[in-house]
Structure 1
């Protein structure tokens, strides 16, 4: 567990590999909020972290999901069953999927395959509608003496929210503010990259959400992948640059369908390696590709799907 000394803690979810997927806990005056859950297998790590903090599951007031992709929300049903006093907060587009996760899980099987979906996420537990609260733009949530504010931040997904912790001057951005893996840090400087997974990547909306997050002038942004980054203005500029580059790669990729998706992934991989090198990271190419392996595949799927939708609009 990482204690940022501002009431925010990061817990590694043990999803796929270490330092891939962070769950964040906010503590104030004995009350707790948890941001995202990863998968069912994360509960033991979270329970141990609460114990280390001198808290227990009964102290959790809010479980807030940035969005309902299962590397963020796969454990929500199990977590809620363990936290009797918690209310789940989720975007209105995601609420129904938490009450009945069957359609959500079916969609995940399409993206990951049935065997991988089962291995990664197990069984999704439904959450009673009475324990679900829709989080709308600029809604305020009380937590001890601090206030958490919900922001509607589409671009990665239309059911995506971010959470402002005004006391800590921090924002929990889920996937809207990209991915920043700690293995690529150079002299304390972070490398950041967009995540364009299917099926709701929308570049204009992502650009706008990044600017909304930047407008709060946060001291830190807490990413699910992976935790705190602090050079907010630079990283926002980097994200804008990368988004535009990925759109250009997609628009220039030859072919259709799987052929184009393969071309997008190959060009994106070359671009990523070039940008990581420019950042000053000297990890071998194979190691960088391994770190981003799932992201490169999902990004390419999402970019191909976005391109198909753009072509339909133009037809």
Structure 2
């Protein structure tokens, strides 16, 4: 049988899994995944509202009707992962959402997410980047349990509670491919940084719930399953999982040491950004990345800024009296 002609933004990953470039920020920055089995489909992460046409086009290119989608599964509710859930659900009449228990209420009523993000970025930027967040009917939203499973066609998907990047984060195990859909728990791996040694990965501490000890435990939990692949939202399928896991934990330790060293700095944010940039440039050089430093800084600028913000929230939380921490 001839394989279907796929749009350029759809990349087959094997095992009937397809990465869909959502078009957010830059090419190959943000992925959603289509998982297909026996004519049924699940979508893991959605991107923003502006990603929805691409997801619908990908379904059509694979010969799947919109009512063939059984599940929409955001790994967590940061808007580059779940901003399009509400709009997408309006186009998928048979689908249900499977959300982390801490995330579900925000999909039913996204007003708190919108208000919090708008306070940081401004409403105009929110509308430009994400579009208006739409609610999902409560009866269409289910919550995952740690170790719980759902069926998609003839394959099972299993959920693991994976805090560290966010407390409302779960990862999804697919036994068929022996891979995890990791959202942001297994970090960021941009294809521009691939070298002769393969892929490179870095942790992400995006605000506001970065907890390095929990993240370390979550990464180790994922690795304990001896996966053959990780399906990262940022970006794509990566193998050599043991090597990348060790690299991520090494960089996580470096970030923690940097944060504690600069915790009392008078210019803490600028110092964290500079320190993170240096840490990541050094790691990429050791990895064999030959991109000029200016290109590395440009590609990592957004992540460095957001990671520094997340580290500051963590440092401020650490500095509070124990009884005052939440």
Q: Shared fold by TM > 0.5?
A: yes
Measure the CA separation in 2 of the matches of 1:119 and 1:299: 22
1:254, distance to aligned residue in structure 2 (A): 5.6
156-165 vs 116-125, which moves further: 116-125
1:255, distance to aligned residue in structure 2 (A): 3.8
Report the count of equivalent residues: 314
Contact 2:188 2:202 in 1 (8 A): yes
Contact 1:47 1:56 in 2 (8 A): no
1:56, distance to aligned residue in structure 2 (A): 1.9
Matched residue SS, 2:244: helix
Contact 1:59 1:85 in 2 (8 A): yes
Measure the CA separation in 2 of the matches of 1:4 and 1:274: 30
Contact 1:164 1:172 in 2 (8 A): yes
1:288, distance to aligned residue in structure 2 (A): 1.0
Measure the CA separation in 2 of the matches of 1:31 and 1:45: 18
1:115, distance to aligned residue in structure 2 (A): 2.5
Measure the CA separation in 2 of the matches of 1:4 and 1:228: 7
Measure the CA separation in 1 of the matches of 2:206 and 2:264: 20
Measure the CA separation in 2 of the matches of 1:105 and 1:231: 37
Structure 2 portions without partners, runs of 5+: 1-9
Contact 1:12 1:21 in 2 (8 A): yes
TM (norm. structure 2) is: 0.94
Measure the CA separation in 1 of the matches of 2:94 and 2:22: 22
Q: Does 1:308 align with 2:316?
A: yes
Q: Does 1:173 align with 2:173?
A: no
1:188, distance to aligned residue in structure 2 (A): 6.0
**Alignment correspondent of 1:129:** 138
**Alignment correspondent of 2:271:** 263
Measure the CA separation in 1 of the matches of 2:263 and 2:113: 32
TM (norm. structure 1) is: 0.97
Q: Does 1:138 align with 2:147?
A: yes
Contact 1:36 1:72 in 2 (8 A): yes
CA deviations 1:16-54 (Å, max 9, x no partner) are 111000000100000000000110111111111111111
Task: Describe how 1:169-248 pairs up with structure 2 within 5 A.
Answer: 169-187=178-196, 189-248=198-257
Matched residue SS, 1:26: strand
**Alignment correspondent of 1:29:** 38
Q: CA RMSD in A?
A: 1.3
Q: 1:287 to 1:212 in 2, by over 3 A?
A: same
Contact 1:152 1:161 in 2 (8 A): yes
1:112, distance to aligned residue in structure 2 (A): 2.7
